Amino acid sequence: MYYNYSDNSTDMNKEALYGLNEIMKVYNSVASYHINDASIKQTLGKGIFVCRYCGKAKPEVSFKSKAHAIPHFLGNNVLFTDRECDSCNGKFGRMLENHFAGFMHLEHTISGVRGKKGYPKFKSNDAIIETTGSFVDWKDIPDENLDYNPTTKTLKIKQKMPTFIPLAVFKCLVKIAVTIMPEEDIPDFQDTIAWLNEENHGSGNFNLKRLWLVHGKSSTIDRFAELSAILVKKNVTGPADMPSMMLRLTYSNFLFQVPIPLCKKDNSSLKMNIPYIPSLLDLEHGFGRMKLTLMDMHSPEPFKGAEIDFTFNDLDGTSTYEIVDAS
Ligand SMILES: [Zn+2]
């Protein structure tokens, strides 16, 4: 990694550094994990075998499967936890991770995020997409979903996303935060855990009106070098209208930032002000390179048929693209 100090983007670097500096006055990192090909295996709460989610211990509940602290499909196969029983692990996989995987499936295929079964293959009624990591093979796309602009030499492909529940996507991120959270902070998040445990999305005891997710996407050539999860905690002197804890997850071309709801220390009637934690990509290139979207994810209703546009530039300079007729 290098920084080009003579580059004109330095002003943007300053802006990101200023933002980071402001955040660091109010928040401290209490957990931070960085996963890459060289990472060694690590187990949180090793040998403890008391489940953080249902409160039960071995042998009342089993801990036979290795619970991933960050889901496997995000590229983690080194960070595990002994604080999650098999039953809770299975439940969160079905209830939360499946929705997050659905929400990001298409993006993961195109960006080549390796999961349990290698690169995820995307199959729907209107396309089959596969990747080798450097080459994306997109089959059976209806013509109306293709839009080639010969002037700008860009190809735009419209694609429908799989169905997902926004609330479950948000909860999946909060679940990661609770999993990597230091044990001493857990007593403040008992309501958060009860909310994560609710089996029927949206019909439990907690009815949260707004759940803000900061979702960032970088251009395909700017990538995070590793999968990182960072949990930050507000200082005791921090402003009351900022959340006690926030999680930031970055990997491949993506960034996610969420406040951790239902902390005992937060005043739920206050309108929360959520500061953005600048990432390495912001520091290198400025805010302009990371496209940020603020999404309200409180809906417990399945979100069907959402569409995303992917734009491909003429990166190799040959000014060509080829549609291969598979029939
Ligand atoms: Zn459990």
25 Cα: distance to centroid of ligand 1 (angstroms): 36
pLDDT at 283: 67
Domain boundaries, the chain: 24-312
221 Cα: distance to centroid of ligand 1 (angstroms): 40
pLDDT at 161: 85
Burial 13-23 (b: 16+ CB within 10 A, else e): bebbeebeeeb
105 Cα: distance to centroid of ligand 1 (angstroms): 27
pLDDT at 150: 76
67 Cα: distance to centroid of ligand 1 (angstroms): 11
pLDDT at 147: 83
CA distance 73 to 79: 13
84 Cα: distance to centroid of ligand 1 (angstroms): 5
pLDDT at 7: 38
CA distance 115 to 122: 13
CA distance 222 to 280: 10
CA distance 186 to 188: 5
55 Cα: distance to centroid of ligand 1 (angstroms): 6
3-state secondary structure 213-235: EEEEEECCCCCCCCEEEEEEEEC
pLDDT at 272: 82
102 Cα: distance to centroid of ligand 1 (angstroms): 24
49 Cα: distance to centroid of ligand 1 (angstroms): 10
247 Cα: distance to centroid of ligand 1 (angstroms): 22
Cβ 208 vs Cβ 298: under 8 Å: yes
What is this structure's pTM? 0.87
Q: What average pLDDT does the structure give for the chain?
A: 85
CA distance 319 to 325: 20
pLDDT at 120: 81
The two tokens of residue 321 are 């693209």
176 Cα: distance to centroid of ligand 1 (angstroms): 15
Q: Provide the residues around ligand 1 (an ion) whose CB is within 5 A.
A: 51, 53-54, 85, 88
pLDDT at 322: 53
Which positions of the chain have pLDDT values less than 70?
Answer: 1-14, 134, 220, 283-289, 313-327
Rounded to 5°, angle at Cα 24 from 23 and 29:
110
78 Cα: distance to centroid of ligand 1 (angstroms): 21
3-state DSSP assignment of residue 68: strand
pLDDT at 316: 55
